[in-house]
Amino acid sequence: MLIDSHVNLHAHQFDEDREAVIARAREAGVARMVTICDRVSSFAAVLAVAQAHPDIWCSVGTHPHEAKEDPDLGPGTLVALAAHERVVGIGETGLDFYYDLSPREVQARVFRAHIAAARRTGLPLIVHSRDADDEMAQILEEEHAAGPFRLLLHCYTSGPVLAARAAALGAFFSVSGIATFKAAEDVRAVIRDMPADRIIVETDCPYLAPVPMRGRRNEPAFLPYVLEKLAEIRGWSVPDAEARTEDAFFTLFDRIPRP
């Protein structure tokens, strides 16, 4: 089956046609979706989408852009919200030193709170990393030494060194529409070396629409383009890529029943 591991269906870009977007995803063969929480204050809206649809689950967390909204966020808050049966991951969280929309020390503090919550719940940590490879690797290694946790580096566009250091910790990786962009050969090079049994796919909709839909609002129905590009990059058949990413998804997001 096709599984979109990272959608943002509560986003305002879908306010006019959210149900139609979900229907188109199903028509395109997308059988499972995980809709992602961008800030704890949005969790109720994120959860409402998951509760309304039996094939959609959600996460709880605060994106590094929004870390400044709740700089003292503690793991206890995340753990309590993650007790809901529709929550299958902690995040999206991490470091973004490209936009620096939250102070870096606040991003790091909030990120570590999410790691503690992932460790306590056993749920996978959904990680965003941009222009922070050294700092990201250091935090992941320090925290993993303090106690293991499961992690997913979503929409991976960072370098090969961070990928290797994260892979050594057992990290999973998700591939997005960026892999289809003409100028993204460096991203494709890293994808070629990712652990074959730890790759999943995503759209990150409404952002990052893949070629040939680039420039449009992204949606889960475009996921087949991402899967096809992943298959091409890895030298897999499309059915093989589908089976591999499905297996990896259910291994990582093991709170979701496998049909």
**Length of the chain counted residue by residue:** 259
Q: Is 215 left (phi over 0), alpha (psi -120 to 50) or beta?
A: left
Residues 56-92 as b/e (b if ≥16 CB within 10 A, e otherwise) read bbbbbbbbbbbbebbeebebebbbebbeeebbbbbbb
For 159, counting Cβ atoms within 10 Å of its Cβ (0-12 exposed, 13-18 middle, 19+ buried), the class is middle
- A 10 A CB-CB count for 194 gives 24
> Do the domain assignments include residue 40?
yes
pLDDT average, residue stretch 107-126: 98
> Do the domain assignments include residue 62?
yes
Per-residue pLDDT tens digits for 35-86: 999 999 999 999 999 999 999 999 999 999 999 999 999 999 999 999 999 9
> Do the domain assignments include residue 240?
yes
> Do the domain assignments include residue 37?
yes
Mean per-residue pLDDT of the chain: 98
Domains contained in the chain, number: 1
> Which pLDDT value is given to residue 131?
98
> Which pLDDT value is given to residue 212?
98
> Do the domain assignments include residue 259?
no
pLDDT average, residue stretch 128-144: 98
Q: Print the domain residue range for 132.
A: 2-252
Distances (CA, A) of 97 to 82, 103, 135: 27, 9, 10
Per-residue pLDDT tens digits for 166-221: 999 999 999 999 999 999 999 999 999 999 999 999 999 999 999 999 999 999 99
Task: Let me know: does 33 contact 4? Beta carbons within 8 Å.
Answer: yes
Query: For residue 84, what are its two tokens?
Result: 């809901």
> Do the domain assignments include residue 69?
yes
> Which pLDDT value is given to residue 148?
97
> Do the domain assignments include residue 84?
yes
pLDDT average, residue stretch 4-25: 98
- A 10 A CB-CB count for 215 gives 8
Q: What CATH number is given to the structural domain containing 110? A: 3.20.20.140
